[in-house]
Amino acid sequence: MIDDNGQQLGVMTPREAMVIAQSKSRDLIEVVPNANPPVCKVMDFGKYKYELQKKEKIQKKHQHVTLVKELRFHPNTDVHDFEFKAKHALQFLADGHKVKATVIFKGREITYKEKGEEVINRLIERLASVAKIDQPAHMEGRALIIFFAPDKTAKTKLESSPTDKSTQTQKVDHAKDENASRSPQNVQNDGVRKN
């Protein structure tokens, strides 16, 4: 038996241990039931439960939960929609989540499985720099499914696309600077009549 200060009191009967715990207005808790003899401790049970919950919260906070994010495609998914979903996949992978890509075949589209495979192959090429294939492409009913996992060895830097707004504003500003730097003399030399 261990008292509330952490000192060992030795081996005793359960009745003697209960008397000691009650005299200190504490609870008698069996800490190691599998030991021979079982180890009991005198403590406040409410405080003990509170400390256990606190430890669990801290452990959960430091745990990284991996989620599986799903993206759905069709065999005839347009280029813009594909790029939009591929950007989301890159972001999910950068955040450390797995990605499940599903190509859904509706009606007679199932006869053109190669179109779905083309979509999956394009996605594999697009995500190759930041992901590895967790499960290869396989059919499940009317859906072609593949799983990607983040590749920790690859660089996780997202590739900036040419349709990014910041690059568009830079191009517009650059064009304004060129027009502003043209003096009237340069305009006249270009073959434009000056009024």
Q: Which domains does the chain have, with CATH numbers?
A: 1-45 (3.10.20.80), 68-150 (3.30.110.10)
pLDDT at position 154: 65
DSSP 8: B
Which among 18, 13, 16 is positioned nearest to 28, based on CA atoms?
Answer: 18
Sign of the torsion angle spanned by Cα atoms 169, 171, 174, 178: negative
Which segment, 47-51, 150-154, 163-167, 176-180, is predicted with the most confidence on average?
47-51
**Residues near 126 by beta carbon (within 8 Å), at least 6 away in sequence:** 86, 89, 90
d(CA 52, CA 32): 15
Which among 124, 131, 144 is positioned nearest to 91, based on CA atoms?
Answer: 131
Distances (CA, A) of 105 to 30, 137, 156: 59, 14, 32
Digit-coded pLDDT (tens) for 65-113: 678 899 999 999 899 999 999 999 999 998 888 999 999 999 888 888 9
pLDDT at position 43: 86
What predicted TM-score, i.e. pTM, was given to this entire model? 0.49
Reported as half-sphere exposure (CB side, CA atoms, 13 A), residue 164 has a value of 9
